């Protein structure tokens, strides 16, 4: 496997099309999974290099973040190499006996390359960890206990994910902050619940990692009864199925790989952003200069060439030289990319066209 390294990142050099063809030729079954661990890592760059070598030996693909505070990974592993993957992970003391969040739905193409990045934090939370004890976390609860707590009228269920995640699926009666980032969610939830600090606050996220930090933060802020769903939505869905429990999650779970969603219940609670038809998952605008994450049904995808707007359809028809000129100009650099909101490409492209045409 060819790789490139700089100060922050180690990744495979081949393009996605080449990598997908290579995966297709293998015809192998793969597990999609995630894991995380907070731990003190003295040299994240060295640890990143070690992981890349070890995980490449057993064909691991995916996205991994490493920081001084720990590791956060979303990956896929060949089924036949799963034990080899576990053996290599457990060579690291703080990675032994980890809970692996196996996906509800496995897709051999959920990831196409292995990419390991060094970050300041494994989840961008904007918090100063020196101001509170991050080890004083909320009480972990399993699916059965979560259901019991949510039946209690003294309980408030809080979704610690972003708006585009909860749009396609969430727990019944949960507070779903209209935010773009986890950092924003922390502040919005605190303000919304500031006069309810004696209630049971039960938080959840995709795999549990955001609640690890959020629960400690809210306890520091004076919330007395803080709980978090262990393993997040992914583990909840597994336990509900295996133990024949009531499923209180409606819709689909947003996932951070090429699948973009896995269905947890039969309900479809989200709609195509272009025609309003019920639709359970997101797409990315095929215009690479936009790449907006939005909900688009198959009919609208065909009708609009996979684009989110007329401007994007027009842009992808431009000669390559003109597309390159826009991407290298000042208007493209002014864009602020967001997920699930109106495309910021449109005003930038309109301004560029006006400037170009005099």
Q: Which residues are catalytic?
A: 205
Contact 171, 249 (CB under 8 A): yes
Separation CA 21–CA 2 (nearest Å): 16
* C-alpha 282: how far from chain center: 13
- Residue 271 φ then ψ, to 5°: -130, 150
CA gyration radius, the chain: 22
**Rounded Cα distance, 259 and 76, in Å:** 12
CA distance 161 to 18: 33
Query: Helices marked H in 206-309 — which ranges?
Result: 209-220, 232-243, 298-303
b/e 214-240 (16+ beta carbons within 10 angstroms → b):
bbbbbbeeebebbbbbbbbbbbbbbbb
Q: Diameter of the chain by CA atoms?
A: 67
Sign of CA dihedral 137, 141, 143, 146: negative
């Amino acid at each position: 496997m060819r790789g490139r390294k700089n100060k922050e990142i180690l990744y495979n050099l081949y393009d996605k099309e080449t990598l997908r063809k290579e995966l297709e030729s293998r015809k192998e079954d793969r597990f999609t999974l995630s894991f995380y661990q907070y731990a003190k890592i003295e040299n994240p760059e060295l640890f990143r290099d070690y992981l890349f070598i070890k995980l490449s030996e057993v064909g691991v693909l995916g996205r991994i973040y490493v920081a001084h505070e720990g590791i956060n990974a979303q990956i896929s592993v060949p089924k036949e190499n799963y034990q080899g993957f576990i053996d290599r992970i457990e060579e690291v003391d703080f990675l032994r006996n980890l809970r692996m969040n196996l996906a509800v739905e496995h897709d051999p193409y959920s990831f196409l390359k292995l990419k390991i990045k060094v970050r300041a934090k494994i989840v961008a939370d904007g918090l100063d960890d020196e101001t509170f004890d991050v080890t004083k976390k909320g009480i972990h609860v399993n699916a059965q206990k979560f259901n019991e707590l949510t039946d209690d009228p003294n309980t408030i269920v809080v979704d610690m994910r972003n708006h585009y995640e909860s749009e396609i699926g969430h727990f019944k009666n949960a507070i779903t902050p209209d935010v773009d980032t986890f950092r924003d969610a922390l502040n919005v939830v605190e303000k919304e619940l500031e006069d309810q600090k004696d209630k049971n606050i039960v938080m959840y996220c995709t795999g549990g990692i955001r609640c690890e930090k959020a629960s400690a933060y809210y306890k520091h802020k004076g919330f007395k009864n803080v709980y978090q769903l262990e393993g997040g939505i992914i583990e909840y869905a597994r336990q509900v199925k295996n133990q024949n429990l009531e499923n209180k999650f409606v819709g689909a779970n947003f996932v951070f790989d090429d699948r973009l969603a896995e269905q947890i219940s039969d309900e479809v609670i989200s709609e195509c952003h272009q025609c309003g038809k019920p639709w359970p998952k997101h797409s990315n605008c095929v215009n690479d200069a936009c790449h907006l994450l939005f909900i688009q049904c198959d009919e609208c995808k065909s009708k609009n060439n996979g684009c989110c707007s007329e401007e994007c359809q027009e842009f992808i028809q431009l000669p390559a030289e003109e597309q390159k000129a826009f991407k290298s100009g000042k208007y493209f650099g002014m864009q602020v990319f967001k997920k699930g909101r109106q495309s910021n490409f449109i005003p930038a492209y309109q301004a560029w066209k006006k400037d170009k045409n005099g």
